[in-house]
Structure 1
Amino acid sequence: MQTDRFLYTYVRQTDDHDLCRLEMRALFGQDTTANYLFSGRCIDPERSPFMKERLDVLAAADSIEEIIRFAATLPDDGTTFQIRCLNTMALGETEKIPHPERRRIERSIGLKMAAAADLFSPDLLYGVVRIGDTFLFGSLTENTAGWRNHIKKPEMYSTALSTHVARAVANIAVPHPEGVRAIDPCCGIGNVLVEARSMDIDMTGRDINPLAVLGSRKNLEHFGLTGTVDVGPIEEAAGHYDAAVIDMPYNLYTHATREQQASILKAARPLTDKLVLVTIENMDDLLADAGFTITDRCIARKAHFEREVVVCE
């Protein structure tokens, strides 16, 4: 079994399966149809709307007894701990472990550890999990899904990207934020912008609609986030960015004609090295005409409504 340093588990709805995998490919350079993934990359689970937890693997063994022996060697440094068994759901082909058995596994490890256990406010979380015939043990980081606080905003559009889709799109555009400058030049009410800024992604907003810009600024301020949001068309955007997100306008009030869509994409080409386009209609021809090359894509579904997320360079 592959046992890279980090194990990530996932929870996703059927409609989000393809979007989740596209986000996986952006963050890790790989994906899987399973609901867990091994990687050598350390990603904060809070980044993703789909990640459940990250296990920093300290030991891998063929039996729980070997894990117990390893845990017994950990020194008592004055911190308290709690152990959680991650088999609360089926992980790939490994069936869920019933609650009583999970508690037995947790206790059997904890009783042999030198440090003091604390079931209510531990200093450290440890995780243990069985995948196939292998047991893994390590430090555990859980996703508290703080991004859900962004669902209800002071200013909202009924047709704007949902919060979890906006967060995934921000991750796809900027999977590794350090030193990366990004722009959302058609930011609307700022759903992608809020998610990006909440993850310390250096993203600037812009929109041709002054009312949308005011709403976007208000949403950022509401969540204690900072960021520049300018008024004006993408054609007047100055500078150059490593990545851009464009959720192509499509509703009754902001619908762009085919010519306007082409103009937006042509203006984006000199503006950015990488583009993540969100669209309800195929724009492969317009992207090619603008000079973009498609490198990845998926369909993001919500019931019978579909958006395409297209990654371009």
Structure 2
Amino acid sequence: MKSGQYIYNVNYNEQDYNLCAFEVKALFDDELENKVLFTNKEIDPSVSPFLKNRIKIIYKKKTFHEILDSILADDFRANDFMVQYVAMYKRDPNISQGKKLSKEAGLRIYGYPSFQSPKIMLGITYYQDYWYFGYLKQNNFKWRAHKQKPYSFSSALGVNMAKVLINVASRGDTSKRLIDTCCGVGTVILEGIFAGYDICGWEINPKVAELARLNLTHYEYNAKIVTGDMKDIRDFYDVVIVDLPYNNFSHFDGEKQWSIIRHAKKIANRMIIVTSADIRENLYAEQLKIMDYCRAEKTIKGDFVRYIWICEN
């Protein structure tokens, strides 16, 4: 198990394992071995559909009482704070004692607690024979409201996948300029704005482009949605996201789709391509480097499959 400045825990359904592992690798450059991750990289859990909590570690001790002693010895101070026990896994033996443990730690902090609207969240947890105490950041799950956007299509990407596309595109670097060249009703755009990215969308169908704008307006988000053919894009971006039109067919063919990929190569060196079929041989034929890929399934039965390809020129 790697050590690090931060400890995260993730949660996913069985069918989402591949998608979660794909995101973790992109964000943290690490493999998903279990649902707890130690790293030195700081990521806001709310940008991910799978990250639940992040603790910036202050103390790591063998016993809970050593944690309490350290809080006292360091004269730890905070105002408007709240201490919360964080269960990193379902069978955590301390879950039932969580409130008691949180109270004991809180009583040793010099300052005024706030249980209604704390400005400082502190977390305590136990994992693999060690106790941890530190600053807690939780996924606020406000992004789930995007699942009820006013306009959508049955074949549109889900919110979870859209969030993952943003994360694998940028690797968590919010300074990256992103473009979604087949943005549809704006599912990916919504998640890009939510996570703080400079992102814009292009959509060739005027009616669909207007639906994307209406979705953005509904959440009071601001981003440019251009009605037009991506062949007319003249700017260069850090990453281009392409959810290829598949028109409910399971096979991948047609010069139209390859034209989209060839134009994507001209506006960014890094591409995130979503397809409904395995097209790796075709991507190699286009002289693209496949940096990583994921086969994502919407259900355990695997009756709705999307391939996500990370490609570079």
**TM norm. shorter chain > 0.5:** yes
TM-score (norm 2): 0.92
Q: Counterpart of 1:3?
A: 3
Match of 2:188, SS? helix
User: Where has structure 1 moved over 6 Å in runs of 4 or more?
Assistant: none
Amino acid at match of 2:240: A
Deviation for aligned residue 1:215: 1.0
Q: 1:202 corresponds to which letter in structure 2? A: D
Mapped partners of 2:294, 2:171: distance in 1:
16
Instruction: Find the counterpart in structure 1 of residue 81 from structure 2.
Output: 81
Show CA shifts across 1:289-308 (max 9, x none): 33311011111111121111
Counterpart residue number, 1:51: 51
Alignment match of 2:270 (pick from 267, 274, 285) = 274
Compute the TM-score of the two structures, normalised by the length of structure 1. Answer: 0.92
Give the match for residue 304 of structure 2.
305
Deviations 1:118-137 (A, max 9, x none): 33332321111111111110
Which SS does the other structure have where 1:16 is aligned?
A: helix
> Quick one: distance in 1 between partners of 2:156 and 2:311?
22
Asked if 1:216 corresponds to 2:174, the answer is: no
Q: Answer whether contact 1:28 1:39 (CA < 8 A) is retained.
A: yes
Aligned pair count reads 308
RMSD: 2.0
1:6, 1:167 → 2: CA distance? 22
Q: Which residue of 1 aligns with 2:104?
A: 108
Q: Distance in 1 between matches of 2:175 and 2:101?
A: 43
- Determine helix, strand or coil for the equivalent of 2:7: strand
Unpaired runs of 5+ residues, structure 2, are: none
Q: 2:82·2:115 contact (CA, 8 Å) conserved in 1?
A: yes
Q: Which moved more, 1:28-37 or 1:49-58?
A: 28-37
Q: Deviations over 1:253-289 (max 9, x none)?
A: 9x98422111111111111111111111122133223
1:152-190 Cα deviation digits (max 9, x unpaired): 112111110011111111111112344321111111111
Contact 1:6/1:42 (CA < 8 Å) preserved in 2? yes
Partner of 2:223: 227
CA contact under 8 A between 1:174 and 1:201: conserved in structure 2? no
Contact 2:9–2:37 (CA<8 Å) still a contact in 1? yes
How far off its partner does 1:221 sit? 1.4
Aligned residue type for 1:309: I
- The question of 1:14 aligning with 2:10 is answered no
